[in-house]
């Protein structure tokens, strides 16, 4: 009936009992609510993964809007999409993938306890993230100059009749909403990376405790995955049709 | 504790694959594939997502619960998309205005 | 000779003093009380709007308020009650307090995140409160476009922002609970030894985590459309307002299960302890909680039957809506079977449990009525629907919440509430509730639309009955407010286990020590094993 033999129960009780008292002396890798450092690491990682699926649903709402409207206005979406610079978008995608590479390398450095490598790789990740955001800013400025900002009276997409301008605005609304939300997540990621670099410089991380780098890495990679889908869905709609 | 420390070579290989697939998806977009174009785009994106999640996010070394969580999240996105589309895709099927 | 001062045992309430020890606490028990205070304030706010609504509806031609103001009243009643009272209610108070103790843990997995969740609720609440005081919002709690995005002149953005922020409170609490249940159970506490209250909160947390982000992004899009004129739902651009409704209800239907599942968890505990019997069909109840959480995500289109959704989608959603009733019925049957040959006690919490079972059954069955496409065409947007959901939310959830508050009051405060007054208020609430809401079924069926304050003369009698009931209900709700506070000073001291209940929470002192247990527990018994429990002296019912 009982899950543990009485001997095991006594042994666990002693360990857990000791853990109750040990836990009062709180350290970074073993906070007082946890019994072992491994339990804490597992909990933190699970927590981050759960957060990421809330992010899947968060972005998912916008993907749902995109799916509905692309189905309804396929030709308009194709024309609107072709007004985006696919090469620039592809290069930016590459930049973000590179940043994911440096991020996972930073986590690896954490696993190996290589303090200087952690700092270097996090800085590189931050750099590539910054490049991505810079290119994004340039792209958005371009849209502004071309009068492709939705909600503005001056909105006009070349190659479409007046009665389809509204539909084109739908595309650009989604473009700005989705890339904007993505960029916001990048900015938050940049903030997190800065914090990590500061902490790494203080020597906070070691081979036994690098969980913040690990879970920040998960977040960063997730933001990358969102872009992996945004790129083809926004930039590469029916490009074979030409402009 | 993920005792698995992947090699630099593994990560480099994944990076290379990801960059190649990015080039591929850009090239494929300009090919005349008709309706298959979107299938190709989403298919390549899915492969890239799998590479990032399995290797960069260490999902292949993760425990069952984590994998279940990820699967659940993706399924739920699926529910949102499929059931919403069940409305828009069937509009006008009855021939009655507004239904 | 001075009599020796009684040395009070240290527990979570007296271990530290001062406002900082509360506002910067990491203790889940204190955070639960912070939530209790907050949601009670919002309950009164929502209740005030309800009072004004019911007074206005006493006469067929209105007169107390203008139509525009009336729109604001029902909107703000809904917003306050749903987002700032019902959604947090049981999980954030009883769940926060008891989930860690029930599984044998010292706290939740992420205590600081828990505190952040409370702050987010408060901040979100302040935004919405500001909107209400500055002039109100009139879109209905459902914020349908294009009225909310384009035409309304009220404080849509502030209210929506408040809900957005409060949504993250909900998400983080759900996340915290899921990780805690998976990773922090005491040795021997297997999944099938967990109290059913834990299963219920776990299932609720799944909904919070999977559903709330969608309403968050929907509000974000509404915000963009209203502020930046980025028209996603604007028909003038080819946008579809029904798309807004799909996104809105994708969350808001599962949200009603966020509101009712924890209540069902409380009922499982109450039925068991006051029958002195293990819950009948433990695994069925546990799995039915998860089933409700999952199936609840597949039915949202039943809110769009007459909105312009395609007929085929309507058929699919109607069909699926019948399925979600099955796990709920399983619970009701199992609770009833638990009573059979049980040793029934009529303590106040049990009275609330009985009330729940009866009223939730009525609410749930009327849900099946509206799930039928044909009937819904007739009763949608009438008082029939209003009665349906109030039977579940008020007759169900609030009764379970009060039952749980009475049941757990001794544990949380170390004091017993006065039983006679408590029984009386339970009765007053039950009578007041039925007088308020049963006439509304009739009103709705006869054609009284919801959200209208001017109506044909022949409906007045039923409206008067409903308002009379509301006054009685209000008295019923005030009574516990008074005697709970009274009990803090004058209530009988409570022992560790006044009810003779099973569960780890009854093995620790009342109130519990800061770290919940003096010694880390090892679990060797199944759930609801009454052979191990000897009730202490308190005799009730």
The pLDDT confidence band at residue C534, using thresholds 50, 70 and 90, is: low
Based on the domain organization, do A40 and A26 belong to the same domain?
Answer: no
Task: Indicate the number of domains in chain A.
Answer: 2
Task: Give the domain range for residue A186.
Answer: 36-241
Radius of gyration over alpha carbons of chain C, in Å? 23
**B45 contacts in chain A (CB < 8 Å):** 228-229, 231-233
Please check the confidence at residue C82 and state whether its pLDDT lies above 60. Answer: yes
The pLDDT confidence band at residue A242, using thresholds 50, 70 and 90, is: low
Based on the domain organization, do A140 and A31 belong to the same domain?
Answer: no
Least confident of A2-16, C163-177, C415-429: A2-16
pLDDT tens per residue, range A167-209: 999 999 999 999 999 999 999 999 999 999 999 999 999 999 9
**Cα–Cα distance, A69 to A65 (Å, whole number):** 6
Of C226, C227, C247, C243, whose CA–CA distance to C235 is shortest? C243
Based on the domain organization, do A75 and A11 belong to the same domain?
Answer: no
The pLDDT confidence band at residue C535, using thresholds 50, 70 and 90, is: low
Of C127, C129, C151, whose CA–CA distance to C139 is shortest? C151
* Three-class SS state of A27: strand
Token pair in block for residue B42:
């989403």
Q: Which residue of A has its CA nearest to C26?
A: A33
> Out of A217, A232, A239, whose CB is closest to B45?
A232
**Quick one: pLDDT at residue A2?**
41
> C493 phi and psi, to 5 degrees?
-65, 140
The pLDDT confidence band at residue A22, using thresholds 50, 70 and 90, is: very low
Based on the domain organization, do A15 and A42 belong to the same domain?
Answer: no
Q: Which helix (H) or strand (E) holds C267?
A: helix C241-273
**Quick one: pLDDT at residue A11?**
47
Contact A73, A233 (CB under 8 A): no
Round the average pLDDT of chain C to a whole number and report it. 95
**Quick one: pLDDT at residue A240?**
84
Please check the confidence at residue C132 and state whether its pLDDT lies above 70. Answer: yes
pLDDT tens per residue, range C259-274: 999 999 999 999 999 9
User: Could you tell me the pTM of the whole model?
Assistant: 0.94
Q: Which residue has the higher pLDDT, B26 or A26?
A: B26
Contact C536, C287 (CB under 8 A): no
Query: CATH code for C29-532?
Result: 1.20.210.10
> Out of B33, B52, B63, whose CB is closest to A100?
B52
Question: Chains that contact A by 3+ CB pairs under 8 Å?
Answer: B, C
Based on the domain organization, do A52 and A142 belong to the same domain?
Answer: yes
Q: State whether the Cα torsion B37-B38-B42-B45 is positive or negative.
A: positive
**C316 contacts in chain B (CB < 8 Å):** 83, 86
Give the closest-approach CA distance of B97 to chain A in angstroms: 17
- DSSP assignment of C496-523 equals S-TT---SGGGTS-SSPPTTS-SS----
**Quick one: pLDDT at residue C8?**
75
Please check the confidence at residue A21 and state whether its pLDDT lies above 60. Answer: no
**Cα–Cα distance, C83 to C156 (Å, whole number):** 15
Selected residue of A61, A64, A164 to mutate for chain C interface (largest C Cβ count, 10 A): A61
3-state secondary structure C48-116: HHHHHHHHHCCCCCCCCCCHHHHHHHHHHHHHHHHHHHHCCHHHHHHHHHHHHHHHCCCCCCCHHHHHH
If one counts every other C-beta atom within 10 angstroms of the C-beta of residue A140, the result is 17
Cis peptide before C146 (omega within 30 of 0): yes
Token pair in block for residue C180:
């805690």
Q: Tokens 């389809």 map to which residue?
A: A164
Here the CATH number for the domain that contains residue A206 is 1.20.120.80
Q: Do C309 and B96 touch (CB under 8 A)?
A: no
* Three-class SS state of C252: helix
Of C265, A65, C192, C211, whose CA–CA distance to B72 is shortest? C211
Based on the domain organization, do A96 and A211 belong to the same domain?
Answer: yes
Paired residues of A30 in beta bridges? A27
**B44 contacts in chain A (CB < 8 Å):** 232
Q: Do B44 and A98 touch (CB under 8 A)?
A: no
Contact B14, B55 (CB under 8 A): yes
Contact C330, C290 (CB under 8 A): no
Token pair in block for residue C64:
């107390």
Give the closest-approach CA distance of C178 to chain B in angstroms: 11
Least confident of B29-33, C109-113, C162-166: B29-33
The pLDDT confidence band at residue A99, using thresholds 50, 70 and 90, is: very high
Q: Do B25 and A232 touch (CB under 8 A)?
A: yes
Does C526 lie at the interface with A, CB-CB under 8 angstroms?
yes
Give the closest-approach CA distance of C179 to chain B in angstroms: 11
Alpha-carbon torsion angle B37, B43, B47, B48, nearest 10: 50
**Quick one: pLDDT at residue B94?**
83
Round the average pLDDT of chain A to a whole number and report it. 90
Alpha-carbon torsion angle C209, C210, C214, C217, nearest 10: 50
Based on the domain organization, do A13 and A98 belong to the same domain?
Answer: no
Q: State whether the Cα torsion A91-A92-A94-A99 is positive or negative.
A: positive
pLDDT tens per residue, range C177-235: 999 999 999 999 999 999 999 999 999 999 999 999 999 999 999 999 999 888 899 99
**Cα–Cα distance, C282 to C268 (Å, whole number):** 9
Q: Give the pLDDT mean for C343-352.
A: 96
């Amino acid at each position: 009936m009982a899950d543990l033999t009485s001997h095991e129960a006594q042994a666990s009780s002693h360990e857990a009992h000791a853990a109750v008292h040990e836990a009062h002396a709180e350290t970074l890798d073993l906070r007082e609510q946890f019994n072992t450092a491994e339990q804490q690491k597992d909990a933190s990682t699970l927590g981050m993964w759960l957060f990421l699926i809330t992010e899947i649903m968060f972005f998912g709402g916008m993907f749902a809007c995109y799916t509905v409207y692309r189905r309804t206005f396929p030709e308009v979406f194709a024309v609107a999409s072709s007004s985006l610079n696919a090469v620039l978008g592809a290069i930016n995608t590459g930049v973000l993938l590179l940043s994911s590479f440096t991020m996972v390398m930073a986590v690896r450095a954490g696993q190996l306890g290589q303090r200087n490598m952690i700092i270097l790789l996090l800085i590189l990740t931050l750099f590539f993230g910054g490049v991505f955001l810079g290119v994004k800013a340039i792209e958005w400025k371009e849209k502004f100059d071309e009068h492709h900002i939705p909600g503005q009276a001056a909105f006009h997409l070349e190659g479409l009749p007046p009665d389809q301008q509204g539909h084109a605005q739908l595309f650009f609304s989604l473009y700005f909403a989705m890339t904007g939300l993505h960029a916001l997540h990048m900015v938050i990621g940049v903030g997190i990376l800065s914090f990590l670099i500061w902490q790494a410089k203080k020597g906070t991380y070691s081979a036994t405790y690098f969980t913040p780098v690990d879970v920040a890495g998960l977040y960063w990679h997730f933001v990358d995955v969102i872009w992996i889908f945004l790129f083809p869905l926004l930039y590469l709609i029916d490009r074979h049709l030409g402009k | 504790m993920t005792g698995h420390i992947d090699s630099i070579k593994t990560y480099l290989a994944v990076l290379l694959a990801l960059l190649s697939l990015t080039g591929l998806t850009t090239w494929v977009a300009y090919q005349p594939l008709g309706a298959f174009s979107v299938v190709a785009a989403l298919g390549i994106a899915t492969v890239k997502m799998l590479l990032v999640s399995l290797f960069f996010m260490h999902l292949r070394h993760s425990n069952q619960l984590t994998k279940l969580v990820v699967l659940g999240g993706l399924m739920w996105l699926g529910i949102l998309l499929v059931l919403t589309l069940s409305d828009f895709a069937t509009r006008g099927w009855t021939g009655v205005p507004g239904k | 000779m001075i009599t020796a001062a009684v040395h009070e045992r240290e527990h979570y309430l007296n271990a530290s003093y001062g406002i900082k020890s509360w506002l910067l606490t990491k203790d889940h028990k204190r955070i639960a009380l912070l939530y209790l205070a907050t949601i009670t304030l919002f309950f009164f706010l929502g209740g005030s709007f309800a009072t004004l609504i019911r007074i206005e509806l006493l006469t067929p031609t209105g007169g107390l308020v203008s139509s525009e103001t009336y729109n604001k009243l029902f909107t703000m009643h809904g917003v306050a009650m749903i987002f700032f009272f019902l959604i947090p209610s049981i999980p954030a108070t009883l769940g926060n307090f008891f989930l860690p103790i029930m599984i044998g843990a010292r706290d939740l997995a992420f205590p600081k995140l828990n505190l952040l969740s409370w702050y987010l609720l408060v901040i979100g609440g302040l935004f919405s409160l500001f909107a209400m005081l500055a002039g109100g919002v009139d879109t209905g709690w459902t914020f349908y476009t294009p009225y909310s995005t384009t035409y309304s002149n009220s404080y849509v953005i502030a209210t929506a922002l408040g809900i957005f922020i409060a949504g993250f409170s909900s998400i983080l609490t759900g996340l915290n609970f899921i990780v805690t249940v998976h990773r922090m159970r005491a040795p021997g506490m297997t999944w099938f030894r967990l109290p059913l209250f834990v299963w219920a909160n776990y299932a609720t947390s799944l909904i919070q985590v999977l559903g709330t982000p969608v309403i968050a992004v929907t509000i974000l899009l509404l915000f963009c459309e209203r502020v930046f004129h980025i028209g996603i739902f604007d028909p003038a651009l080819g946008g579809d307002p029904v798309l807004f409704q799909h996104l809105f209800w994708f969350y808001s239907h599962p949200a009603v299960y966020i509101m009712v599942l924890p209540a069902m968890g409380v009922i499982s505990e109450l039925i068991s302890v006051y029958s002195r019997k293990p819950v009948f069909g433990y695994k069925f109840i546990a799995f039915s909680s998860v089933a409700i959480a999952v199936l609840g995500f597949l039915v949202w289109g039943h809110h769009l039957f007459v909105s312009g959704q395609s007929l085929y989608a309507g058929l699919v959603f109607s069909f699926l809506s019948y399925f979600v009733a099955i796990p709920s019925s399983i619970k009701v049957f199992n609770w009833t079977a638990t009573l059979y040959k049980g040793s029934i006690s009529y303590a106040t919490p049990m009275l609330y449990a009985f009330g729940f079972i009866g009223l939730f059954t009525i609410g749930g069955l009327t849900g099946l009525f509206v799930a039928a496409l044909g009937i819904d065409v007739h009763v949608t947007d009438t008082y029939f629907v209003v009665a349906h959901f109030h039977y579940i939310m008020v007759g169900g959830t609030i009764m379970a919440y009060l039952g749980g508050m009475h049941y757990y009051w001794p544990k949380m405060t170390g004091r017993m509430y006065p039983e006679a007054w408590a029984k009386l208020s339970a009765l007053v609430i039950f009578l007041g509730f039925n007088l308020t809401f049963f006439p509304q079924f009739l009103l709705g069926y006869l054609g009284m639309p919801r959200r209208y304050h001017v109506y044909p003369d022949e409906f007045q009698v039923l409206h008067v009955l409903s308002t009379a009931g509301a006054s009685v209900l209000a008295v019923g709700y005030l009574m516990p407010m008074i005697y709970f506070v009274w009990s803090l000073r004058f209530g009988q001291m409570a022992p560790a286990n006044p009810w003779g209940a099973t569960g780890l929470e009854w093995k620790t002192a009342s109130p519990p020590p800061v770290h919940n247990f003096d010694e880390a527990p090892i679990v060797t018994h199944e759930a609801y094993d009454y052979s191990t429990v000897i009730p202490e002296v308190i005799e009730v019912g």
